[in-house]
């Protein structure tokens, strides 16, 4: 159990002390993290350089980015049940872009254009298979243990889909639906190849599933949840094909990966595999399950797997009963605090930290000891735990500063707690003199996810921590029963944490990453030759094949290439539009009233839409995206003959 001064280190009238009276008992712990490396941030022309030049240290001034200055970091966030991803600038908090992924976005035409509908997935009649999504976790591709700026991945919890976003265009380019999975929540890419160690970049993306379902989920065993199960899924990072799945005892929540490529892991808040809330809290502890990726792939290669239903994806049995010998096991279930939510890897690659949620503790697991368990050198899985400090009520997510310190969100305490991993390990070994908890700061209110600048990489720089708070009552102007949420940016460079700004967030973002701006290399215009269906002066015009009409159209400010487009009622019309402007930021829109058509084309880009001309009349096709002094005059007549 942690010492009293660790548990009750807050003023007598604080929310922390009041709620602490009902805290459960905890243990002690934690570890040593990576060195600090500074790149990009603080460079000339950056926000931090501007603030430093003005002699500004803490407070709101440190988050202010002067006009004409750029942010030091990108923040890539999920959008929750909006189905999108989002980009903010740090430290300014400016919203830079919303990326449609699983949702329909009539501004860019996502879910409207043929190209986007093909990525999202359609039914036989061409309509979208799904029109909803629930994004939770965004993570980037890696090289040499840090971000390489190639891809982002984000999950859809509702329909168990994984999406990939190209970082050169910040657009979704592939979506994969996971078979026999429900409640796909956590996802994380590997940081190097677990089989070929010469490959030091992301090759796989791992996906955890919360909800157990019957196998196959076709109506059988509906009244017998004891026969239900959950699958851990591996997706190929390049092709986005599902490589394999592993059946586990219990469920999975969030996911992390080791820096050496050997392990993926997931915290489990329902090891009981219970179908009801009371059952989910029956066991004294839950677990963090580790997957030996190379062993799994060896079994798949050897044909030692099954399949489920109509899916052809190999399924390896990772349940304890099928893996009695650690030396051949593909899974290791490490006991942790009750109902954990979140598992995070320390920047030095030595530790995984799980937070208890229903236990006031964080569990520190040494990755090298997990490897020893798989090699048959540990007596029990629990022997891989090296610390379990009591840090506060409702611990969820942990981030790192690269200096040996961890920062954990406390949902019930409405605090961020800063604690030292090495001190926690020393305390766990019996040294009661060490101070584990170094600082606390109140946030407003109930922080869910928290993340630090470059904190998910070897280059964790200890500059900023962002607290994503789920409640903001009394914080902003009231706008009705639905409140905005709060993103609070915290300076973590000093001994004490300092909140330097807060911003609204449209509900409901979840996890995010903070990436240095120098890593991100985006295109400013497209390459027209990348689009096989591009429209040029050679093929522009209208062609007809029976009742199928193809309108090949060009745009160049301030005009479309055809002032009049004439079709017949009942025609199936495809409009392919290429933007011939080469000027950065010169985007055109295309909208047709009463036909539910609206999309944009960026410089040198091509997009298309297909629809039925099912009602006659004259309709002004016009540019929706301001592009020119004669923008309002940029239109064509779309005529449908009766």
476 compared with 10, residue with greater pLDDT: 476
| Span 448-465, pLDDT tens digits | 999 999 999 999 999 999
CB atoms within 10 A of CB 40: 18
pLDDT digits (tens, 9 = 90+) for 351-397: 999 999 999 999 999 999 999 999 999 999 999 999 999 999 999 99
Q: What is the pLDDT of residue 47?
A: 55
Strand ranges for 283-345 from DSSP E: 286-292, 315-317, 331-336, 343-345
Instruction: At 582, list the tokens.
Output: 């080469």
pLDDT, tens only, 316-343: 999 999 999 999 999 999 999 999 999 9
Percent of the chain with pLDDT over 70: 91
Each residue's pLDDT tens digit, 114-149: 999 999 999 999 999 999 999 999 999 999 999 999
Residue 212, token pair as written in the block: 């157990």
Three-state DSSP state, 183: strand
pLDDT for position 29: 35
pLDDT for residue 227: 92
Q: What is the mean pLDDT of residues 527-543?
A: 98
CATH T-level fold of 528-641 = Immunoglobulin-like (2.60.40)
Where does the pLDDT of residue 12 fall: very low under 50, low under 70, confident under 90, or very high at 90 and above?
very low
Least confident of 79-88, 172-181, 194-203, 538-547: 194-203
User: Angle CA(204)–CA(208)–CA(210) in degrees, nearest 5?
Assistant: 170
Per-residue pLDDT reduced to its tens digit, 294-312:
999 999 999 999 999 999 9
pLDDT of the residue at 58: 52
Q: Which of 326, 346, 482 is nearest to 424 (CA)?
A: 346
Pairwise pLDDT comparison (3 vs 180), residue with the higher score: 180
Cβ–Cβ < 8 Å for 554, 535: yes
Mean pLDDT confidence for 399-420? 98
Give yes or no for a cis peptide into 52 (omega within 30° of 0): no
Torsion angle in degrees (nearest 10) through CA of 359, 362, 365, 366: -160
Say if residues 329 and 374 touch (Cβ distance below 8 Å): yes
- What is the C-alpha to C-alpha distance for residues 393 and 381, in angstroms, rounded to an integer? 26
Q: What are phi and psi of 6, to 5 degrees?
A: -75, -35
Q: What's the pLDDT at 46? A: 56
Burial track 256-286 (b if 16+ CB lie within 10 A, e otherwise): bbbbbbbbbbbbbbbbbbbeeeeebeebebb
pLDDT of residue 136: 97
Please identify which residue in the block is written with the tokens 């090949």: 552
Compute φ and ψ for 638, nearest 5 degrees.
-100, 110
What pLDDT sits at residue 534?
98
Question: Which residue has 């409140």 as its token pair?
Answer: 483
Over range 206-225, report the average pLDDT.
96
Mean pLDDT computed over 9-25: 41
- pLDDT of 499 > 90? The answer is yes
Sequence spans of domains, the chain: 528-641
Instruction: Check residue 61 and give its pLDDT.
Output: 80
Please provide residue 148's backbone torsions phi and psi, each rounded to the nearest 5 degrees. Answer: -110, 0
pLDDT at 453: 98
Give CA–CA dist 414/48, Å, rounded: 28
Q: What is the mean pLDDT of the chain?
A: 92
CA-based torsion, 402, 407, 408, 409: positive or negative? negative
Q: Mean pLDDT over residues 491-516, rounded?
A: 96
Of the pLDDT bands very low, low, confident and very high (cuts 50, 70, 90), residue 45 is low
pLDDT band at 597; cut points 50, 70, 90? very high
The 3-state DSSP composition of the chain as helix, strand, coil percent (nearest 5) reads 10, 40, 50
Which residue, 455, 461, 464, is CA-closest to 489? Answer: 464
Contact status, residue 416 vs residue 467, Cβ threshold 8 Å: yes
40 has pLDDT over 70: no
Q: What SS3 class is residue 615? A: coil
The residue with greater pLDDT, 25 or 236, is 236
pLDDT tens for 266-289 read: 999 999 999 999 999 999 999 999
pLDDT at 427 over 90: yes
């Amino acid at each position: 159990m942690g010492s009293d001064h660790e548990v009750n280190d807050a003023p007598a009238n604080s929310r922390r002390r009041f709620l602490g009276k009902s805290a459960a008992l905890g243990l002690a712990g934690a570890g040593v993290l990576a060195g600090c490396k500074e790149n990009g941030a603080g460079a000339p022309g950056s926000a931090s350089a501007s603030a430093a030049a003005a002699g500004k240290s803490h407070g709101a001034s440190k988050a202010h980015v002067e006009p004409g200055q750029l942010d030091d970091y990108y923040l890539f966030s999920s959008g929750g049940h909006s189905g999108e991803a989002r980009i903010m600038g740090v430290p300014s908090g400016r919203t830079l872009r919303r990326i449609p992924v699983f949702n329909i976005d009539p501004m860019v035409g996502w879910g409207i254009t043929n190209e986007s509908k093909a990525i999202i997935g359609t039914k036989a009649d061409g309509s979208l298979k799904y029109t909803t999504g629930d994004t939770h976790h965004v993570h980037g591709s890696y090289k040499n243990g840090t971000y390489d700026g190639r891809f982002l991945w984000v999950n859809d919890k509702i329909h168990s889909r994984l999406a990939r976003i190209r970082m050169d265009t910040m657009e979704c380019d592939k979506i994969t639906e996971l078979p026999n999975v429900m409640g796909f929540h956590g996802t994380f890419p590997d940081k190097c190849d677990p089989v070929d160690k010469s490959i030091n970049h992301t090759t796989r993306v791992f996906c955890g599933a919360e909800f157990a379902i019957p196998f196959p989920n076709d109506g059988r065993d509906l009244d017998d949840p004891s026969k239900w199960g959950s699958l851990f899924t591996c997706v190929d990072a390049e092709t986005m094909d599902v490589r394999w799945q592993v059946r586990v005892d219990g469920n999975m929540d969030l996911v992390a990966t080791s820096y050496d490529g050997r392990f993926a892991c997931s915290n489990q808040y329902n090891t009981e595999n219970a179908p009801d809330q009371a059952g989910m809290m029956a066991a004294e502890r839950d677990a963090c399950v580790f997957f030996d990726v190379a062993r799994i792939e060896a079994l798949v290669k050897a044909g030692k797997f099954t399949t489920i239903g109509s899916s052809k994806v190999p399924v390896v049995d990772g349940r304890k009963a099928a893996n009695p010998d650690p030396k051949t096991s593909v899974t290791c279930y490490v006991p942790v605090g009750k109902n954990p939510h979140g598992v995070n890897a320390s920047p030095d690659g030595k530790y995984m930290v799980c937070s208890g949620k229903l236990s006031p503790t964080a569990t520190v697991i040494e990755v090298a000891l997990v490897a020893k368990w798989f090699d048959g050198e540990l007596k029990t899985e629990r022997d891989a735990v090296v610390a379990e400090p009591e840090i506060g009520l409702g611990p969820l997510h942990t981030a790192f500063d690269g200096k040996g310190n961890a920062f954990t969100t406390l949902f019930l305490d409405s605090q961020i707690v800063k604690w030292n991993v090495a001190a926690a390990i020393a305390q766990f070994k019996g040294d009661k003199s060490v101070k584990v908890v170094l600082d606390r700061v109140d946030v407003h209110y109930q922080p869910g996810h928290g993340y630090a600048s470059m904190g998910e990489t070897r280059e964790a720089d200890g500059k900023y921590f962002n607290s994503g708070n789920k409640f903001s009552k009394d914080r902003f102007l009231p706008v009705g029963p639905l409140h905005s949420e709060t993103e609070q940016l915290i300076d973590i460079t000093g001994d004490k944490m300092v909140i330097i700004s807060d911003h609204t967030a449209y509900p409901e973002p979840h996890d995010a990453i903070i990436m240095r701006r120098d890593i991100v290399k985006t295109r400013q215009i497209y390459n027209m030759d990348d689009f096989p269906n591009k429209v040029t002066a050679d093929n522009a015009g209208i062609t007809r094949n029976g009742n199928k009409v193809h309108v090949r159209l060009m745009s160049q400010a301030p005009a479309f290439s055809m002032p009049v487009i004439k079709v017949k009622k009942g025609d199936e019309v495809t409009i392919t539009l290429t933007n011939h402007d080469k000027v950065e930021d010169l985007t055109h829109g295309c909208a047709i009233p009463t036909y539910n058509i609206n999309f944009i084309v960026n410089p040198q880009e091509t997009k298309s839409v297909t629809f039925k001309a099912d009602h006659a009349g004259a309709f002004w096709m016009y540019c929706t995206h301001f592009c020119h002094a004669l923008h309002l005059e940029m239109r064509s007549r779309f005529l449908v003959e009766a």
